[in-house]
Amino acid sequence: MPVGATTDLDDAAIRAAATLIQRSRHVAALVGAGLSAESGVPTFRGDGGLWTRFGEPTFDGWELFNSDPGAWWDDALAAQHRDSEFARALDSARPNAGHVAMAEMEQMGRLAHTITQNIDDLQHRAGCRKLTEIHGNRYLVRCMNCGGRDRLSTISLDRLPPLCPECGGTLKTDTVMFGEPIPEDALRECYRQAALADLFLVVGTSAVVYPAAEFPVMAKRRGAALIEINPEETDLTPLADIVVRAAAGAALAAIVDELRAETMA
């Protein structure tokens, strides 16, 4: 039975998680929508999720972009002028206690790298710098030729599709579309972290989206420990060494408090 498999913020589980983090050489984290939900960003799946309420988006986005990038951009810009619950929530969201705690863990030298499935930029805004956004970032564009990334707000949209200021290649939004391969540099870094980690921290993810869900499993098979922070049971729960069955913000903040206390002891 994993430590702390309860419905409350279990002090024993928090202490055990902090101790394991303190003793580990290379801690990697996988973050999902549950963390940003505490900032008011709607999740896609589950009760109340956007896809549950409104249906899943088109699965041919990548195909449509490739067939006519200019038309795709034209449609995307038009959509910005229509009401979008997700877009409004992203634009108004602020980093929560969980984001801040993970940034502090990184600054303490206890968190080596974070793989986030979220596109909301909140971890970066909280101060995380050792970060792989495996599904991209809503506020960036990516060149399809050289792979360079830039802020969407700095790119001229007078011509569609917009072109890379460095190489002249076609730009697309950085977020990964259905059917689009994960960018090679991001995927390579994720596999590297799975190989390096002796502890994987899994926060607020249902662990059903691949390839992200396989990284902690790969690390576990190599002998790494696994800590899960999630209010709900997931497919990774049976593999976890420690389970903190609580909201990410409260759990991560409590773990950081324990790490500070252990450092000062």
Catalytic residues: 135
- The SS3 of residue 41 is coil
Q: Which two tokens stand for residue 114?
A: 């974070």
110 contact partners, CB below 8 Å, separation of at least 6: 21, 22, 27, 259
**CB-CB contact of 103 with 123 (8 Å):** yes
35 contact partners, CB below 8 Å, separation of at least 6: 96, 98, 99, 118, 203, 204, 248, 249
Of the candidates 128, 132, 137, the residue with the CA atom closest to the CA atom of residue 115: 132
Of the candidates 264, 224, 216, the residue with the CA atom closest to the CA atom of residue 31: 216
CA distance 251 to 257: 10
